[in-house]
């Protein structure tokens, strides 16, 4: 895959993040040493900061990404160094002749975690930044399960890499 939109789609795949979060990703949110992406609350659907553990594949993609720090903090800038359009990632999938939408990648991640792994349901739900529907459970479950999510994302990246090589 080549181009900003394609690399943004690849990053969305590797992180199971919403396309809007990826299109708005800023270098100032990313800590390559700690392998973490901190998406601020104002860009999250639930309005809560979300820490995304980055696999080695996601870090490598970011390391290859050009930085335009003199004009923009965006990781995946579009035309005129503004955020990519809402349809840019969908357009990449259409050009690849994939009958799906970027948000479907999140569903694929969730089904893979449920059907092909032994990772806890809660870790997969946290990875997708979903709120717990049960208010009682949410009151007691305050951990973000970062260590478990880190391994989940490593396994997901390995699955994606194996799937594309095969």
CA nearest neighbour of 64 among 123, 122, 14, 18? 14
Q: How far is CA 20 from CA 1, 103, 158, in A?
A: 20, 10, 24
Instruction: Tell me the average pLDDT of the chain.
Output: 89
Known catalytic residue at 140 = yes
Q: How confident is the model at residue 116 (pLDDT cuts 50, 70, 90)?
A: very high
Residue of 45, 68, 82, 121 marked active site: 45
Residue of 50, 106, 119, 149 marked active site: 106
pTM comes to: 0.89
Q: How confident is the model at residue 144 (pLDDT cuts 50, 70, 90)?
A: confident
pLDDT at residue number 143 = 60
Known catalytic residue at 45 = yes
pLDDT at residue number 70 = 84
Known catalytic residue at 18 = yes
Q: How far is CA 35 from CA 59, 63, 96, 159, in A?
A: 7, 11, 29, 19
For domain 4-165, the CATH architecture is: Orthogonal Bundle (1.10)
Q: How confident is the model at residue 1 (pLDDT cuts 50, 70, 90)?
A: very low
């Amino acid at each position: 895959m080549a181009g900003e939109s394609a690399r943004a789609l690849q990053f969305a795949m590797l992180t199971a993040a919403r396309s809007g979060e990826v299109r708005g990703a800023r270098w100032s949110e990313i800590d390559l040493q700690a392998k973490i992406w901190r998406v601020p609350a104002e860009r999250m659907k639930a309005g809560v900061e979300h820490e995304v553990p980055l696999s080695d594949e996601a870090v490598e993609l970011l390391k290859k990404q050009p930085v335009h720090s003199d004009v923009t903090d965006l990781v995946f800038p579009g035309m005129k160094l503004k955020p990519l359009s809402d349809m840019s990632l969908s357009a990449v999938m259409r050009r690849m002749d994939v009958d799906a939408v970027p948000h479907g990648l999140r569903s694929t991640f969730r089904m893979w975690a449920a059907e092909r792994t032994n990772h806890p349901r809660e870790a997969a739900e946290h990875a997708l930044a979903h709120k717990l529907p049960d208010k009682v459970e949410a009151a007691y479950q305050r951990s973000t399960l970062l260590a478990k999510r880190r391994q989940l994302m490593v396994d997901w990246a390995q699955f994606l890499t194996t799937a594309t090589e095969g």
